[in-house]
Structure formats: structure tokens, C-alpha cells
Amino acid sequence: MAPEQTTVLDERDREELISATRTTIGDQLRSITYFTDDGTFEQVYLRSDLEADADLTGFVDYEQLGFGARTAYRASELGEYRFTIRVFERGFLVRVTSGDVGVFLTTDGLTVQDFEEVATAVGKLLAQE
């Protein structure tokens, strides 16, 4: 049985995460979910025009697989693994992990440069933990 959503981040970390993502991608941001390798998670942001009915437990279960990406892609000719982009019919999901914590955020349409900037900003915050 997967852990339920809980409060994981303190208020300061939550605000920093929201600020970093909103600063880089603005109103294109749909949601932010912080999660750990043990499946604990917290949705820290949901845009006001969206319903809070997503199966976040299912998303977290799948995105936890990303903790193995750094190891799986080690010594690749592509270089160091940095982040994952998933493309959906009505938006995108970006996953960034560092150590045993991660964030996935959902967005409306973005450019590759936007993805790079938001992944870098989130990665820096995660590395500080």
C-alpha cells in the first residue's frame, strides 16, 4: 500500500519551490508535487483553474523509478542524466531528482529552454536538502 499524501516540506522550502518554478515558467505551471524515494509526497502547488482529482499516488509510484536513472545512465555517451520530460496530449510532466528526493511538475506548453531552466532551478533547490 502506497503512503498517503502528507506535509513533507516546511513552509519556507514550499515557498522557495513554488517561487523558483513560477519565476522560470510563470502561468504555464499547472502543479508541483514533491516526493521521496519511500513514496511520501506532497502536492505543494495546484493552479486555481484545475481540479484536485489526479491520482497522485499513481504518479508518485511511477516517478519513483527516476531515482534509479542516475545509476542506469552512468557512463553514458550522452553525459550525466539531468531530468525527464513526459509529453501528454494536454501538457507536460517534468521530473527532477536529487539523492532521495524529487519533484515532478506539470505544465502547459513550454520550449526546450523553459524545461532546461525550470529543471536547473528545481535541481539546485533539491541539492540543498
> Domain with 55 in it: what CATH number?
3.30.450.30
Does 5 fall in a domain?
no
Does 25 fall in a domain?
yes
- Average pLDDT of the segment spanning 23-35: 93
Average pLDDT, the chain: 86
Instruction: Report the SS3 class of residue 43.
Output: strand
Does 3 fall in a domain?
no
Where residue 129 falls among pLDDT bands split at 50, 70, 90?
Answer: low
Degrees, nearest 5: CA angle 21-53-90:
60
Q: Which domain holds residue 80?
A: 11-127
Q: For residue 108, how many other CB atoms are within 10 A of its CB?
A: 14
Where residue 6 falls among pLDDT bands split at 50, 70, 90?
Answer: low
Does 6 fall in a domain?
no
- pLDDT of 70 above 90: no
- Average pLDDT of the segment spanning 118-125: 84
- pLDDT of 2 above 50: no
Domain count, the chain: 1
Does 4 fall in a domain?
no
pLDDT tens profile 73-92: 888 888 888 888 998 888 99
Query: Maximum CA pair distance of the chain?
Result: 43
Does 93 fall in a domain?
yes
